Structure 1
């Protein structure tokens, strides 16, 4: 043991002797220094900002290659790579003014390139941008991204839908770890709070090459907030108030860093009463309370970088059953209610070699879910424990060829502790191996390809009495899948970019689909699983066209997604215990559609922006019938003005948003059609400076005209319960 400790000490001593630095100056095209530019080394979680002279310094960088990004509002971002670091390196940067959104480094794809260099089109939104829209929850903010919707139960429960696919067909990643929280269930929400989250990336399409099973429909990848810059300490407090739910959201964060060590902690509390519909009535028992805590500690030097993060989330939420009944503004949940505890522990490490690096992500997720029907004794109580591992080796570059090989896996156990069983006790094991490569030529062309093999093993335990409700026969199934991806990016003309991607994905059937044998709460359906279900397998083709100049940007995204062995429920024509009996069956299916939009910034009205987007998706079974839970077409328009008032208001903005959702007449045989509606939203905010007091403020009025509407993907639609009425949101954020 002493020998190992001595080796570690000597290793650390040798590491600490290496002091590679990068320094330089950031200027504008007029050769003026730019103060406050964010200089960030993403692999090391190390950042700094330029001083009044535009100068910066980053220390303790790896001996091999280093990626550095430069970003500042109003300027086009730059991402630089220094291939062979010396002890002292000089890198001067000239930033060009740009009125469009900053070009971000995309973390969710294999090679972590900036979006303008990426072969795949990935949607990127900061949480600050989503919060400026005044949405009450994280999933509501996500649903404003073109191609993303939500299946909702009131304001407290929302499940992401990407181009018509949801549930186990969409993966959620947080802190670099796959989130597992019984996401197959209709009553189960996202399980994440936006406090302590920096941004979200949305992959719209099969991503099994990097993420394995269940990424058939896409990925939501949440990036945690960055650590403080080297040798700084930061503290902030934010408060949001919601008029409709009489709600409050409070958050306090602290973070500090030295040259090598980094630490942060953030706590938040979210509480809401029943939401009010147009006209003044409240939807009974849609209230909820949420406590969230996040912390992280990191260490980096010239040889490796490691970050340990922990997230605790406690959600107490009411389950609406009676629609608009007893009226109350209480925030104490009634029966039935649900209690959900999530623990997420992640360790993200990068080890640097001379010309290569090893990226290892380890994660542990513990999901404890209870449902209380009419007392404080849980009838349904499940604990889902998941261990994830993901190791990617970035091989040495061969000219302009980059390549990665990796392994990925998961060990998961589900255990029941209540009298009611929704799914049986079971164990799931995943293992995958993959390789991918990216080749660039010229200044704007690239091709990317990859191949992967996966195996999923599911074993469950027998429970109950044969022939009775709640009986689960034991299963022992193994599912294999090969998947591939091929993408091409090129500039067809100046300012005109094309991306073409073809990728396959897969999803092994989940426990509910394999084993269900009972009444599915809230649907009045008796569901019967099918232990012989096959793996869902899809192939999707995506085409992205973008044209961007200094004052005009337009994009067109089109996709066609063919799914073999699509799993869904179908009526058997029989009735059991006064409930219609449904069974899980399979059929081939297809989804197609896309998004189109433009951003216009007229000159010389530099303060004015107009953005519009339209999204559509159609889903059909092989026999021509429509698929369920397909979002209605939507047309979204936003007029945004940016301004500054003397010395007391900076980065001011005012927005007028008109969102029109159309009729949804293309429904499955068990859905009802939905009428269209138009919502008008206003926003106002900026950074206020009153002496030494500086704070950000947002004031939003959502559904300003108190329109009465029922969203097509609302689970309360069958009971005729409308969505939320007018909601005024006030938010402030202080840097302490």
Structure 2
């Protein structure tokens, strides 16, 4: 709080009350005005479009220097800096013709630069693109991004994996705040719907400098859908049908904005029956039902922006087990999970003369039940987390930008069920950081340092020496972390990035204290109160080349982790379940991704995208780590064209080849290779005054029988989903 008040008072000392206007014209190289160009001031969250003559205007802008981007399909993106010091500033822009993809604003990095400006390489993927690829769930769509995969339990549960790391090593942000939903469990899914989510950004590597503990392996940052443009009311209804699971996914949303106020709301409902494998059999109790509701309210003026969002998500998920009798109902059978997740976020920005202050407050309430039968709640855990994130952007000095910040959380876990896996506990975090970026000609340097402290206090439970006993603990974990990044352009089209960063992860509550049966995993887990911090030092190299018709990227990483925590069987059986201990060993992960995007001239409507990804994980003694994804080679051929009544039409064929996974841990089995073929088609249809988007996908077109190495049903020999036809429509009004 002292930091907040100090920064606030320092900012007010340089407060400027002037209002500014920005106007301009956007033309092509022949000086013809360009219509419908997207003009974005990302730091101010303002966007507009050029009119038929290429003109645009922004009113009520604060003083200062801001990045501004111009983008439209068919022309090269342009990013520049505008200085708002006068009552009216004029900015005229010329865009060159090209067929390369648009540059995206990256919100997850601390300086919020465009992708081409970032020192750290971040993968950006729109949810619309993932949906065009026919993904049943949000996590399934993420697994299409090179370097990202998923630990899955059928279609109902998916857990993101970034370069071989998952669980509490991957931090998830939604609505600008961290999601906390007992993510330590392999069978605990992402817990969020793709409805009302615009895009995802993936940081593949330690991001402890920005986010603290639990970001050792990377970050998934989900951007919510934008508010409507000023003085606009709009809405949409979408419906998807899935042949394999007899599934349905419906979403309805509206949004409107005035000059200062913004409002949106969205509701969605998804239901899926048991999925079918190529033999025609259905895997009993892989069904699930998901309800999701979101609401957002925003206000902005020349000095201040605020945004409040709330998300409620309810999941009713079946847990497949042997000896379950199938039924044709969509309602999950027992055992099952029943999960409520509430997420509230409040974001504020204060604009001063040459600086700004951001304050993000968040609250999540995760209510997780695992039921063995009706009114028989085995596990019932309630996790409540209040978090804060304050960042002060110091006045820019020449080419040097600096940010100081403080972050933290207060978290409580309480048990209501008849069984305990982890005890009642309280966790407190606090972290302080400073980071700077310096630009010199074609070179950009970024460096930062951070200190974190985490305390975990638990309550005792049970009787010493008896089963189910929990000893009270009071632990403190500390860590200093730093990062250093460098970006340059060897040529106009060739970009090189080098990043080295340390990351850490404090042991989570389950790893420290578990002493019970984890119903979803069917094993008895035993914690270890003597566990130490995981600490890594990762090196990332990125090389990118791009011209009008060819793009290439290559990413490499080496990630040694000291005191890596994992579960290992101890040979005992407790309550009919194999017993597993949490243990530590030094480990290392290494690998990378390489890919191309080719769109030849004059066939600019034709796109060929190809990528290869690999990761290897080993302990210090040479044994392989568990849950490391197999290598994958992915190829997509996509065409884009327009007919009289069909606009923005595309057709694609995707072929994924997944290699053998022979590098397995002592208690895993090897996995064989397989090839999947997927098709997709979509278009915007115009019939009279009616306009709607439609899509048709065929996933696993050849109905291939295969088992993913990261499937939790693999040990039972249960294959993944067979052929799935997905039909989608979206009406905008």
TM-score (structure 2 length as normaliser): 0.96
CA deviation profile, 1:544-583 (whole Å, cap 9, x unmatched): 0111111111111000000000011223344444443322
CA distance, structure 2, for counterparts of residue 33 and residue 275 of structure 1: 52
- Map residues 212-611 of structure 1 onto 2, 5 A cutoff: 212-322=212-322, 326-442=325-441, 444-611=442-609
CA distance, structure 2, for counterparts of residue 572 and residue 90 of structure 1: 71
Any stretches of 5+ residues in structure 2 without a counterpart? Answer: 1-14
Aligned to 1:163: 163
- Map residues 617-636 of structure 1 onto 2, 5 A cutoff: 617-636=615-634
Aligned to 2:4: none
Report how many aligned residue pairs link the two structures: 720
CA distance, structure 2, for counterparts of residue 474 and residue 116 of structure 1: 50
More displaced 10-residue stretch of structure 1: 45-54 or 560-569: 45-54
SS at match of 2:84: coil
SS at match of 2:500: strand
CA distance, structure 2, for counterparts of residue 518 and residue 377 of structure 1: 17
SS at match of 1:431: strand
Whether the 8 Å contact between 1:382 and 1:415 is mirrored in structure 2 is yes
More displaced 10-residue stretch of structure 1: 101-110 or 19-28: 19-28
Aligned to 1:135: 135
How much does 1:522 deviate?
Answer: 4.9
More displaced 10-residue stretch of structure 1: 576-585 or 194-203: 576-585
- Map residues 716-731 of structure 1 onto 2, 5 A cutoff: 716-731=713-728
CA distance, structure 1, for counterparts of residue 80 and residue 297 of structure 2: 27
SS at match of 1:718: helix
CA distance, structure 2, for counterparts of residue 458 and residue 366 of structure 1: 18
Aligned to 2:31: 31
Aligned to 1:666: 663
Whether the 8 Å contact between 1:59 and 1:259 is mirrored in structure 2 is no
Aligned to 1:99: 99
SS at match of 1:632: coil
How much does 1:114 deviate?
Answer: 0.9
SS at match of 1:481: strand
Whether the 8 Å contact between 1:60 and 1:260 is mirrored in structure 2 is no
How much does 1:327 deviate?
Answer: 4.1
Aligned to 2:732: 735
Any stretches of 5+ residues in structure 1 without a counterpart? Answer: 1-14
Whether the 8 Å contact between 2:319 and 2:520 is mirrored in structure 1 is no
How much does 1:239 deviate?
Answer: 0.8
Whether the 8 Å contact between 2:420 and 2:515 is mirrored in structure 1 is no
SS at match of 1:526: strand
How much does 1:17 deviate?
Answer: 8.2
Whether the 8 Å contact between 1:392 and 1:405 is mirrored in structure 2 is yes
Whether the 8 Å contact between 1:168 and 1:183 is mirrored in structure 2 is yes
* Pair 1:620–1:34, CA change in 2 (3 A): same
CA deviation profile, 1:338-381 (whole Å, cap 9, x unmatched): 11111111011110111100011110001111111111342211
- Map residues 694-713 of structure 1 onto 2, 5 A cutoff: 694-713=691-710
CA distance, structure 2, for counterparts of residue 627 and residue 613 of structure 1: 24
CA distance, structure 1, for counterparts of residue 378 and residue 571 of structure 2: 30
Whether the 8 Å contact between 1:282 and 1:328 is mirrored in structure 2 is no
CA distance, structure 2, for counterparts of residue 524 and residue 131 of structure 1: 33
CA deviation profile, 1:441-465 (whole Å, cap 9, x unmatched): 11x3101000000000000011122
Whether the 8 Å contact between 2:187 and 2:521 is mirrored in structure 1 is no
CA distance, structure 1, for counterparts of residue 98 and residue 731 of structure 2: 28
Whether the 8 Å contact between 1:283 and 1:320 is mirrored in structure 2 is yes
CA distance, structure 2, for counterparts of residue 577 and residue 292 of structure 1: 37
CA distance, structure 2, for counterparts of residue 335 and residue 523 of structure 1: 15
Whether the 8 Å contact between 2:68 and 2:81 is mirrored in structure 1 is yes
CA distance, structure 2, for counterparts of residue 66 and residue 495 of structure 1: 25
CA deviation profile, 1:68-101 (whole Å, cap 9, x unmatched): 3322223332333223342222222222233222
Whether the 8 Å contact between 1:409 and 1:429 is mirrored in structure 2 is yes
When the two chains are superposed, the root-mean-square deviation of aligned CA atoms in Å is 1.6
CA distance, structure 1, for counterparts of residue 352 and residue 163 of structure 2: 41
More displaced 10-residue stretch of structure 1: 149-158 or 372-381: 372-381
Whether the 8 Å contact between 1:45 and 1:226 is mirrored in structure 2 is no
Whether the 8 Å contact between 1:66 and 1:81 is mirrored in structure 2 is yes
Aligned to 2:11: none
Whether the 8 Å contact between 1:688 and 1:694 is mirrored in structure 2 is yes
SS at match of 1:131: helix
How much does 1:16 deviate?
Answer: 13
Aligned to 1:3: none
CA distance, structure 2, for counterparts of residue 235 and residue 576 of structure 1: 55
Residue 108 of structure 2 is aligned to residue 111 of structure 1: no
SS at match of 1:615: strand
More displaced 10-residue stretch of structure 1: 446-455 or 279-288: 279-288
CA distance, structure 2, for counterparts of residue 478 and residue 574 of structure 1: 31
SS at match of 2:630: coil
CA deviation profile, 1:671-725 (whole Å, cap 9, x unmatched): 0101111000000112111111111111100000110110000000001111111
Whether the 8 Å contact between 1:43 and 1:350 is mirrored in structure 2 is no
Whether the 8 Å contact between 1:77 and 1:104 is mirrored in structure 2 is no
CA distance, structure 2, for counterparts of residue 307 and residue 34 of structure 1: 32
How much does 1:516 deviate?
Answer: 1.1
1:645 corresponds, among 636, 643, 646, to 643
